[in-house]
Amino acid sequence: MARRNDHSRSEIHQMALEAARAIVREEGLSGLSVRKIATRIGYTGGTLYLVFRNLDDLILQLNAQTLEQLHTCLVSALQGCQGVEQCLLALARGYVRFAHDERPLWDALYSVRLAADEALPEGYQARVDALFGLVEQALAPLHGAEQRRLASHVLWGGIHGITRLALDDKLDLAGPTRPEALTESLVVNYLRGLAAG
C-alpha cells in the first residue's frame, strides 16, 4: 500500500478518530485495531503511533468525543422542559435513547480501564463534569450542593443500570418489564422522596 504524506499530524489525528468511530459502530470495540484504522485511512500503523501513544489512548480520545456527542443529545433533550421532574425525565430518556442508538460507542465509554499510572486525555474530566453538570443543574431547586451531587450520581447509576440490563436483554429474564417504565418510576419516586426528606 502506498504511503500518503499529504496530511498534517492533526489531520491524521482526526481521520484516525473518525475511522475508529466507524469501525466501533460496525464491529464494536473488540473489532478495533491499529491495523484496521491504518488501513482505512491509508497510512501505516507506525504513523498512528506518531499521533497516539497506543490503542488505549486512541480509544480514550474517541470516548472523549462520544461524551461530547452525548452532551449535545442531552442538551437537546432538555429543550423546553420545565421543573425538576420533567427535566430529569428528559435527561433519563435522552440517555437511554443515546445508549440504544449508539450502543457500541456507549459500550466503549465503559469498557476502558485506565492503568494506575495513566492519565486521562486533556479535557476528558471536563467533559464528564459537563454531563454531571446537566443533571445537577436540573436538580438545582433541590436542597444543597452536596445533596444534588449525591442525587446526580444515584440517578446516573440507576438509569445506567436499567439501561445496561435492558440492552443486554436481562430484563426479559426478570419479566416483561419495559425499561422506560422502570426509569420513569426511578426518577419520579426518587425525586418525590428527596422532596419529602
Q: Which residues bind a second copy (CB under 8 A)?
A: 110, 113-114, 120, 125, 128, 132, 149-151, 153-154, 156-165, 168-171, 173-175, 177, 181-182, 185-186, 188-194, 196-197
CB nearer a second copy, residue 35 or residue 110: 110
Nearest distance, CB of residue 132 and a second copy, angstroms: 6
Nearest distance, CB of residue 39 and a second copy, angstroms: 27
Q: How many CB atoms lie within 10 A of CB 194?
A: 17
CB nearer a second copy, residue 18 or residue 107: 107
Nearest distance, CB of residue 32 and a second copy, angstroms: 17
CB nearer a second copy, residue 18 or residue 180: 180
Task: Concatenate the DSSP letters of all residues of 133-189 into one string.
Answer: HHHHHHTTTSS-HHHHHHHHHHHHHHHHHHHHHHHTTHHHHT-S--HHHHHHHHHHH
All 3 cell numbers of residue 156?
A: 446516573
Q: How far apart are CA 127 and CA 112, in angstroms?
A: 16
Nearest distance, CB of residue 157 and a second copy, angstroms: 4
Q: Which stretch of DSSP H or E encloses residue 73?
A: helix 55-78
